[in-house]
Amino acid sequence: MFMRTRKIRTRTASLVTLGLLVSTLAACGGDGSESADAKQEATGEPLTKLTYWVELFPDAAAIMKSYDEVTAWKEIQEKTGVDVEFQHPAQGQLGEQFNLMVASSELPDVVDYGWNAYPGGAQKAIRDKKLIPLTDYLEHAPNLSKLLDEHPEWRKMASTDDGDLIGFPFIREDPTQQVFLGPAIRQDWLDKLNLSTPTTIDEWYTVLKAFKEQDPNGNGEADEIPILIPAGELAFAGAFGTPNDFYQEDGTVKYGPIEPGYKDYLTTMNQWYQEGLLDKDFAVNDAKITEAKITGNQVGSTVMFLNGGIGKYMDLMKESQPDFEIVGTPYPTLNAGDNPVFGHMDNPVTGIFAGITGSNSNIVETVKFLDSLYSEEGKLTMNFGKEGDTYTMVDGQPTYTDVILKNTEGLPISQAFRKHIMGATSGPFVQDVRHTQQYTTKPQQQESMKQWSDTTQTNKMPPVTIAAENSSRYSSIMTDVNTFKDEMVLKFIMGTESLDQFDSYVEMLKGLGIDEAIELQQAALERYENR
């Protein structure tokens, strides 16, 4: 339960429950010599201020400077008396600034990030005393402990190979919430040209040709962009059985970009590019350019988010273009009737953890504070904001008010959510399925969710971790592999390199060490299964 500020200041023992991610306990003691008991005794003072490093989501960055402005976080701070000082990396520099930050001697109290991106992974971060393993403090985190006991697979996903809990995870509690991105198409263009929703690669080709040649936007100009996707997009590469990354078949790890099916994918993309079906600027589009093309009534199909894409653009275009309609399509396959294998389906534990760092001098109370966000009241606040303002209870269920659903400032629903709650973003809490149900209210969104959920995911890699002792070698290999692979993929698609050179490209990747990287991924998969 949350406490009022005046109670927090007078009763340390009554502070809110649980907390965030881990960091080696000894790291906070300068020379690392303090015992766990001594450290706990030294960190029993009331928590009044917490420095918290986290990405400011791009949609949120457009309307605010800090998460301190979000209604839900204001409520948390008001109810607990804890002043959260948010530190946000510059837009577009997330990975670079994370690496610079963890290389320093002084870290924020909490870092909310994918800690497996730390050089050597989360286990290495623990060994380097940058991250404190939450495992040592679970007695102070009853809410999260209960969830992990009830869902052993969640615990597995939130742990290192050594069994250490990485931190406080963002959890999507319902399978429907794990599907939020996929292929989408202009339904009004299909209707205008009397076309059916494409399901196979051949049907997509027919639709894209029609979009290019039959003026579906009706302006009399040949300015349509039939499809706008980046190179290696899973939604289309997966149709050829080879995603643009590692995958597994019956427990055997493979690397998609060197498989024969990937050549078939590149051949198709090259054809689409040469015929003007794939956006000529696909290699350089950023979020702003993409949005301008979509709202400019040029884009016939793309891959987009359920809410920050379909919901957002349906809202933005309803006044200027009432007929505008975009809806998700099934993931394409090669043969009619086949079930798609790959799709953009997230794990319930997403890989983003609020981690307590080795610079935190008040670990126990930080754990209690963060754990409170997994309580029923914490979950309600993070997902729905302030009762009576952003939501009310209707028949016992939290229901968003018009502050969000009909925002008077003219914000699309996606940004109204960003302004008031964290359920539409991420953080150390459980995303409430009742939030998702109210977020995805448009029929187009609900139909998209059904379409995108229809993938087997049988070959999806679980969240494995490369062993710390191999991490530098693996990172070195993959830096070279990705640089060369990305360069060649663009050349193959644009036709500046003949696909007759695909075998030579594969041999070059082997020379750069991709086979060794596959072996390291294989070992990581086997360790994951034994967690």
> How high is the pLDDT of residue 390?
97
Candidates 3.40.50.720, 3.40.710.10, 3.40.190.10, 3.90.180.10; correct CATH number of 180-344+439-531?
A: 3.40.190.10
Tokens 């379909």, residue? 310
* 72 and 421 Cβ atoms separated by less than 8 Å: yes
Domain ranges of the chain: 5-174+348-431, 180-344+439-531
Phi, psi for residue 48 in degrees, rounded to 5: -115, -20
> How high is the pLDDT of residue 308?
84
What six digits make up the tokens of 141?
């985190």
Phi, psi for residue 56 in degrees, rounded to 5: -90, 110
Secondary element (H or E) of residue 181: strand 181-186
d(CA 157, CA 115): 13
d(CA 337, CA 339): 7
d(CA 240, CA 256): 10
Question: Which residue from 351, 312, 295 is spatially nearest to 121, judged by alpha carbons?
Answer: 351
What six digits make up the tokens of 294?
């979509």
280: left (phi over 0), alpha (psi -120 to 50) or beta: alpha
What six digits make up the tokens of 348?
């319930």
425: left (phi over 0), alpha (psi -120 to 50) or beta: alpha
Phi, psi for residue 305 in degrees, rounded to 5: -75, 155
pLDDT in tens, the chain (531 residues): 443 333 333 333 333 333 333 332 223 333 333 333 434 433 567 889 999 999 999 889 999 999 999 999 999 999 999 999 999 999 989 999 999 999 998 999 999 999 988 988 899 999 999 999 999 999 999 999 999 999 999 999 999 999 999 999 999 998 888 888 999 999 999 999 999 999 999 999 999 999 999 999 999 999 999 999 999 999 999 999 999 999 999 999 999 999 999 999 999 999 999 999 999 999 999 989 999 999 999 999 999 998 889 989 998 999 999 999 999 999 999 999 999 999 998 899 999 999 999 999 999 999 999 999 999 999 999 999 999 999 999 999 999 999 998 888 888 888 899 999 999 899 999 999 999 888 888 899 989 988 998 898 899 999 998 888 898 899 899 999 999 999 999 999 999 999 999 999 999 999 999 999 999 999 999 999 998
What six digits make up the tokens of 325?
């309609």
356-to-78, 101, 104, 111 alpha-carbon distances in Å: 22, 14, 15, 7
Q: Vertex 51, ends 47 and 54: CA angle to 5°?
A: 135
The DSSP letter of residue 200 is: B
Candidates 3.40.50.300, 3.40.50.720, 3.40.190.10, 3.40.50.970; correct CATH number of 5-174+348-431?
A: 3.40.190.10
Phi, psi for residue 529 in degrees, rounded to 5: -65, -20
The reply to whether domains 5-174+348-431 and 180-344+439-531 share a CATH topology is yes
